[in-house]
Copies of this chain bind each other. A is one copy, B any other.
Amino acid sequence: MIVVQAYEQEEVQKLTERQKDILDAALRLLVEDGDNLTMAAVARRARCSKESLYKWFGDRDGLLTATVRWQASKVRVVPVDQGRPDLVSLAESLESYARDWLKVISSDTSVALNRVAISHAGSGRDKLGEIVLQNGRFALAGRLKPVLDAGKRAGLLAFEDAETAFRTFFGLVARDVQIRLLLGDWPGMTEAAIEEDAARATKQFLALHGAGKGQQAN
């Protein structure tokens, strides 16, 4: 479901093990305490000196950015290999993407990271929002669109624009889950609920864009 991958070789590769430990500590703190992430707290938790934090990451924003990048390099929706595009395997692929995506957005880490990125997007001083978006929603689109296109070529799907089709799928999967989680509500995303939601979203998407029946509605 989740796979470890390098995000930007030239960026992440540079990190020493020690520094990765520190970013993990910052990540845990971010999840636990929200945006109350102080340099002192990170130093205490990671058992390093503040001086080292400043040497390695420049300033607080640098540490935050590095932390977000670090998490982005870890969490990645796995690409589903699209061998033979029959209807069953297509549906399985879609459902798998939906499941993974729901798992990601309902994870503590994702919620915490999105929260801090959104806070910072307000006073647009860094590009945390862009990073999160690139490694979240846009990465998902990048993985999913080839699947959609393959389905279209195989005559299984019907749509004009892959981007629009993707956004429909996105909406059917995520619905109000992410915004509710971000706002502190708990929409009960258990394993079972995720399974059910993924299946429902897939069925709905195929109902809208499946080529079998008379597909209507864009």
- A178-213: which have CB < 8 Å to B? 178-180, 182-185, 200, 203-204, 206-208
Given contacts A170-B176, A171-B171, A171-B173, contact A35 B123 (CB under 8 A): yes
Stretch from A6-14, A130-138, A144-152 forming part of the interface with B: A130-138
A142 at the A/B interface (Cβ < 8 Å)? no
The answer on a CB contact under 8 Å between B185 and A176 is: no
A82 at the A/B interface (Cβ < 8 Å)? no
Q: Given contacts A121-B184, A174-B179, list 12 more A-B pairs with CB under 8 A.
A: A112-B122, A118-B118, A124-B184, A129-B185, A137-B179, A171-B171, A200-B217, A203-B218, A204-B208, A204-B218, A207-B208, A207-B217
* Closest Cβ neighbor of A31 among chain B residues: B122
Given B119, B137, B168, which contacts A115 in the complex, CB threshold below 8 Å?
B119
A175: B residues at CB distance < 8 A: 167-168, 170-171
A173: B residues at CB distance < 8 A: 171
The answer on a CB contact under 8 Å between B182 and A121 is: yes
- A106-128: which have CB < 8 Å to B? 112, 114-119, 121-124
Given B130, B176, B183, B217, which contacts A171 in the complex, CB threshold below 8 Å?
B176
How many residues on chain A are close to B (CB under 8 Å)? Answer: 45
A36 at the A/B interface (Cβ < 8 Å)? yes
Given B133, B179, B206, B217, which contacts A204 in the complex, CB threshold below 8 Å?
B217
A178: B residues at CB distance < 8 A: 179
- A138-178: which have CB < 8 Å to B? 167-168, 170-176, 178
Q: How far is the CA of A123 from the CA of B30 in the complex (A)?
A: 10
